[in-house]
Structure formats: C-alpha cells, structure tokens
C-alpha cells in the first residue's frame, strides 16, 4: 500500500512538472498592421466617394491582396490588429479566402467615425484572432477636450477588446488610428488630444487594476519622440512603455512613404504595461521586412512575442 502511494505521488509530481513545463513553453504573438486602403470591390450607390480612384477609395488590387496574405502568414500572429479596413464583410471574405490556414476564428470590426461621417475615408480599425475574444467595446462616441472651447471624438475609434489566451491572464487590447499628419498643425494638436482621450478611457476602465495586461497598438501617425506618444506613456497610475522595433537589418521605419513627399518614418507602435513587458520573449518588437511587404501596403507590420507567466 505504501509502495502504491509512493508511485501515485511520483506520478502526480511528474505530471505537474510536465504541465508546468508546457505552460512555460507557451507563447503569444501580437501584431499591428496598417493594410493601406483595404477597400472592397463593391460600389455603394449611396456614397459618391466609394470605389473612386480620385477619392483614394478604389478597391484593393488583387496583387496587393495576395501580398498582404503572404505577409500576414509570415508574421503568423495569434492576434493581429488592423487599420484602414473598409468593412467587416470584406475582412471576412479576405480571411476566409486568403488566410484560412491561420484559423482566425474571431473577427472584430465596428464601423466607427470614419465610416459614419462625410469627412471620413470610410476606414476602420479591426482585429483578427485565434485567441478567444469575449468583449469588444467601441469608444467612437467618447468626447474629450480638443481646446478650451470645443470637444472632439476619436478620428476612427479607440477599440477596446478583451481576450483570454490559454495559459495567460486576461489581455486588454486597445486599437487606434489617429488623424494623419496631412492636417498640419490642427492634426498635430488633434493627435495629442486623442492621446489624452485614450488615457481617460484606459484610466476609467483599468485604473484600479494595477497588474492588468494592457497592449495599445496601431498606426499612431506620429514618431516615438512626438508629444502624442509621450502623452500615451504618461497616463496617471498606468505606466506604459513603447517597445522599440527593428527589422532584420536593424532599421526602424514602419512607413515606406511611397507617395506624398514624406520620408520613411516610424508611425506604428506597440505600447505595453509592466506585466506584458516582463513577459516579452525579447525586449524589442520585430518589423517584417521582406520584399512582399513593400507590395502589400505602405506600412510594415510590427509584432511582439510573449511568454506565458510562470
């Protein structure tokens, strides 16, 4: 009987060690990618700006769609947040036709301010995920001070998604795409205002959770040294860090600047809370930089890989 007990205890210890080892080997990859004018081929007869080359809303060419699929498959993220997506229907079609092997079961896109207003380009933020998602909240109607006299809302949205990867704590993901730099001084101050608004949202949602796993990702339309980035990194009570990103040649740019007279620059970022930073496999993010990426979009994807906590 004593011998049997010893065998049982040994087996329990053995399987506990295996379970522990399996958990420590688990990783999670999170990416952000601006798909550049991911417009469908269907014309909206009630929108005079839809499917127009002169309005920069022409359908995404098949060559670029194929290139996008190659890049996304190469990155192979468990969760990938996206910018410049026209609608959920087209994203679903692309996912089912081009990305089936990646098994992105969860698709998130809530049409927001860029789609609702006549001034917008009809592009939204979105997410594809293999990880179970159980909550998605839009803050498109959230108002924050723009200046002393007026308020504003997010240019696209500030999308808040909760996910629960196996072996990981609850993940709080925020996806953004502030106004571009083409708006000059107004856009500059608007991006700072959006950063303050984002800080208010995060403080209200997670201010009391000191150990929350938080990731903010997207096309910030601003450089690492910008005032808006500094604002995101100085949310009271919620310290966040921008993860420096490099490609295989140690170059930092994420935006090719194919046209418009802008130089290549670093506009796409991933910001994380302390618990996420501690879980990084490496203390830096990666930028995907093969030749296909230059065909797919004017941006390059950025991604981090996390270890499951022990």
CATH of residue 190's domain is: 3.60.10.10
Which pLDDT band, with edges at 50, 70 and 90, does 41 fall under?
confident
Q: Which stretch of 2-11, 18-27, 109-118 has the lowest confidence by average pLDDT?
A: 2-11
Domain count within the chain: 1
Provide the whole-model pTM: 0.88
From CA 176, how far away is CA 154, in angstroms rounded? 9
- 258 or 109, higher pLDDT: 109
196, part of any domain: yes
pLDDT at position 240 over 50: yes
- Closest to 61 measured CA to CA, from 88, 36, 80: 36
Across the range 80-95, mean pLDDT stands at 97
For residues 39-56, one letter each, b for 16 or more C-beta atoms within 10 angstroms of the residue's C-beta and e for the rest, the string is bbeeeeeeeeebbeeeee
Q: Which domain holds residue 263?
A: 29-307
Residue with tokens 């980035």: 229
- Closest to 122 measured CA to CA, from 181, 50, 42, 43: 50
- How confident is the model at residue 265, as a pLDDT? 95
Give per-residue pLDDT as tens, 135-167: 999 999 999 999 889 999 999 999 999 999 999
9, part of any domain: no
Across the range 293-305, mean pLDDT stands at 98
- How confident is the model at residue 19, as a pLDDT? 40
10, part of any domain: no
- How confident is the model at residue 181, as a pLDDT? 87
Q: Which stretch of 144-148, 166-170, 230-234, 243-247 has the lowest confidence by average pLDDT?
A: 144-148
276, part of any domain: yes
8, part of any domain: no
């Amino acid at each position: 009987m004593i011998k049997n007990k010893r065998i049982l205890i040994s087996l329990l210890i053995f399987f506990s060690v295996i379970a522990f080892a399996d958990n420590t080997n688990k990783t999670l990859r999170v990416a952000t990618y601006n798909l550049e004018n991911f417009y469908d081929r269907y014309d909206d007869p009630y929108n005079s700006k839809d499917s127009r080359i002169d309005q920069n809303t022409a359908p995404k060419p098949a060559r670029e769609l194929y290139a996008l699929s190659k890049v996304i498959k190469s990155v192979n993220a468990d969760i990938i947040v996206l910018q410049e997506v026209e609608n959920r229907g087209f994203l679903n079609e692309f996912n089912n036709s081009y990305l089936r092997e990646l098994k992105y079961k969860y698709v998130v896109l809530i049409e927001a301010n860029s789609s609702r207003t006549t001034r917008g380009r009809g592009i939204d933020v979105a997410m594809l995920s293999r990880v179970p998602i159980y909550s998605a909240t839009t803050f498109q109607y959230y108002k924050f001070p723009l200046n002393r006299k007026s308020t504003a809302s997010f240019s696209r949205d500030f999308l808040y998604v909760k996910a629960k990867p196996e072996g990981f704590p609850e993940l709080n993901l925020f996806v953004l795409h502030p106004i571009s730099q083409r708006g000059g001084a107004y856009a500059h101050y608007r991006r700072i205002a959006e950063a303050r608004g984002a800080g208010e949202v995060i403080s209200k949602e997670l201010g009391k959770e000191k150990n929350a796993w938080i990731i903010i990702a997207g096309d910030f339309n601003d450089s690492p040294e910008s005032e808006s980035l500094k604002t995101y990194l100085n949310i009271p009570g919620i310290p966040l860090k921008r993860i420096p990103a490099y490609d295989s040649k140690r170059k930092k740019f994420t935006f090719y600047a194919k046209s418009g007279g802008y130089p290549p620059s670093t506009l796409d970022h991933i910001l994380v809370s302390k618990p996420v930073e501690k879980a990084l496999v490496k203390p830096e993010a990666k930028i995907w930089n093969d030749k296909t990426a230059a065909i797919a979009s004017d941006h390059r994807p950025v991604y981090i890989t996390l270890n499951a906590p022990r």
